[in-house]
Chains A and B, each alone.
Chain A
């Protein structure tokens, strides 16, 4: 019975799933090309300018990431990211709005209709007039998440690998220096183009963090859906909650009073660059709360999965005890 429900749910989402996987895959492939361009052409060019004009590189970054630029930096991973390093730049993709929006839309869109959508469409009557225990429906949705979320993450990993294969090694492109004065060119060319190291071996860790985020959003949305009878109302509430958390997390990085609220958001526990580049799986809650650094550290991935599981349990409790109203 559960497998029949799972097969039906997977059948329902197969086309949207294919589209989202394809979008993530293609974006990841494209992002490798962007990373290649920035790290092998743009960054060396700016580095050269900085060196020859005796300007400190940090000073350039300060100007670039001031004002609205600081928001971009906050959204894309904070001050720890070195944009001239290919691996760092590739890691930025995991926080790119395209990836966040696609994953969030997927998680909210699928779970938002799980209960309230079925009631809204009137198909819940059809389903629940069969001898299907209500908890089996929630279980089926959990299994679908367990199948689908890894697929989304694997699409990103596969897209990056295809991009790397298509792009080839990250070698500084000195052709961009052709228009510079000969004296400057000779200094640069004396050392020859450098091969920049690319290490995607740890990307799976970021993907696991992303899976945790998607599962947490899905679980919370399912809980909202279990209360409702209108798909759109449930979606509205879920989007409000998720967008609210996203904004608190971003604004909190820029404005200290809001920063204390960051640990209350799911996005605080989504730090794919720290996980991938530093192997850091713990979120420093103490630092965010203005306490001592490292005083309170929570494991990000288990916490996100725990939130997802709590959402599912909440949804189970609500759905098994509530009345099933007639469709609107």
Chain B
């Protein structure tokens, strides 16, 4: 078997074990939280009797272990069940919201990844001079703003001062692609601001690191322009660290943007997860947790594969 293929298979198998462990940890975590679903739903309006009745109805009186294994058995058969709180079919709800999560993450990635890498290359080319300082200064400023501050800033600027976009970014099935793009414009701008600096700085650092090597000097001596040196000789050798940072940021765009979702009212998975954690709605938390964990594990496998692919020594082991 090809070593890369073997590695992928090994990683996938390990990933499945990891997912199982994650589901157990999530279950324990939710059980350890004070209060249960019935209390969370009824809140201040609870009485002893209505609590007992609701617990009975929701099946919360079963022992914890039984509930876990019932869930696990069903989940292994592809049945995610219905939400305890409102009886909505989880697979359907998640399907739509996961699509929205990927749409937002995708839009942000399509803009931010090429932009960050280009800016990183330019910053490395003009290391220490004004383009480097301007690029670094701007991106470090945008990453230093907390997400909600950046969000309020773009809301103020682009819906009030210049009324170009709408502050509430909900998307619905049946909207045209352009309408959807228009709706998510503001959260995409904020996310680009947030992830740009990390990827840009890493590209810059990795290139500068490679630029210290002897073969770069050779390339310069044979008369290549600085941009040609970077593009042809430095960049291919700096891919591995850049890719791992890019993947880390992609994972963040999928699983970590709940604050941006809340500010813009964007209907994706993050807000959905937080709502159900608050209500101790175990089946939903499990399902979303599994998806987030799978995305993380999957993207990390991808990062490793790309790193190996970019490195001839690893690609063709002796």
Say whether A associates with B: no
Footprint of A on B, CB under 8 Å? none
